Amino acid sequence: MAIMDIEFYSHYLQRNVSFSAIVPVDDRTQDNSESRAHGDFATLYLLNGLHGHHRDWLNFSKLAFWARGRNVAIIMPSAENKSYVDNPHTLDRYGEFIGKELVKFSRGLLPLSHKREKTAIGGLSMGGYGAMRNGLKYHETFGAIATLSGAIAAEILLKITEEDPRFAPRKSFFEGVFGSLDAIPGSDMDCSALLKKLIASGADVPKIYMSCGTEDELLWQSRLYHKIFSEANVPHKYVEEPGGHDWLFWDKQIADVLDWFGY
pLDDT per position as a tens digit, 109-153: 999 999 999 999 999 999 999 999 999 999 999 999 999 999 999
In this predicted structure, the answer to whether residue 202 has a pLDDT above a threshold of 70 is yes
| Rounded Cα gap, residues 133 and 127, in angstroms | 10
**Residue 166: predicted pLDDT:** 82
CATH number at 226 reads: 3.40.50.1820
Q: Which domain holds residue 79?
A: 2-154+205-261
Domain count, the chain: 1
Would residue 179 count as lying in a domain?
Answer: no
225 part of a folded domain:
yes
The pLDDT of 171-197, averaged and rounded, is: 95
Average pLDDT over every residue of 241-250:
97
CA–CA separation, 90 and 20 (whole Å):
25
Residue 169 lies in a domain: no
- Domain annotation covers residue 211: yes
* Model pLDDT, residue 33: 46
- Please report the pLDDT score of residue 27 as a whole number: 55
Could you tell me if residue 24 is inside a domain? yes
Query: In sequence order, which residues have a C-beta less than 8 Å from that of residue 5 and are 6 or more positions away?
Result: 18, 19, 20, 21, 54, 55
Which letter, b or e, does each residue of 218-243 get, where b requires 16 or more Cβ atoms within 10 Å of its Cβ?
bbebbeebbebbeeeebebebbeeeb
Kindly state whether residue 150 falls inside one of the protein's structural domains: yes
In a domain, 77, yes or no: yes
Choice between 140 and 91, residue whose per-residue pLDDT is larger: 140
Q: Are 205 and 232 in contact (CB under 8 A)?
A: no
User: How does pLDDT run across 151-182, given as a tens digit for each residue?
Assistant: 999 999 999 998 888 888 889 999 999 999 99
Report the relative pairing of strands 42-47 and 72-77 from DSSP bridges. Answer: parallel
Average pLDDT of the chain to the nearest whole number = 92
Within-domain flag for 127: yes
